[in-house]
Amino acid sequence: MLDGAARVGDLVAEVARQEMPAIAMTDHGNVFGAFDFYKQAKKVGVKPIIGIEAYVAPESRFEKKRVKWADGGEDDVSGGGAYTHMTILAENNQGLSNLFRL
């Protein structure tokens, strides 16, 4: 799915209609949508899993060189093994607090 392509209300309604127990949302670089996502998911009885698609810096956020984790491959969409994002999900309230701090 494309970044930001889903409307939260429509998405959680469909998840509830299909009787799925949970759904995750990862904002790109922040958790600004977490509160609205949490409220809407809880309202329809779906467990919300909150996360972030975090930016990865090699040594410091001031270092601008690309991160090389691998050589890439035929199906590599990362630009030859250059991964600069990491998906992080909160498991509990402590994890959510850690996401907020990040």
Q: Domains of the chain by range and CATH?
A: 8-101 (3.20.20.140)
pLDDT of 75:
59
For residues 63-80, one letter each, b for 16 or more C-beta atoms within 10 angstroms of the residue's C-beta and e for the rest, the string is eeeebeeeeeeeeeebee
Which is it for strands 22-28 and 47-55: parallel, antiparallel or unpaired?
parallel
Instruction: Answer for the pair 27, 34: CB distance below 8 angstroms, yes or no.
Output: yes
Higher pLDDT: 73 or 22? It is 22
Who wins on pLDDT, 90 or 80? 90
Instruction: Please classify residue 83 by burial: count the beta carbons closer than 10 Å to its beta carbon, then call 0-12 exposed, 13-18 middle and 19+ buried.
Output: middle
pLDDT higher than threshold 80 for residue 52: yes
Tokens of 25: 């949302």
pTM as predicted = 0.74
Helix (H) or strand (E) holding 3: none
> pLDDT band for position 17 (50/70/90)?
very high
The answer to whether 28 and 1 are in contact (CB under 8 A) is no
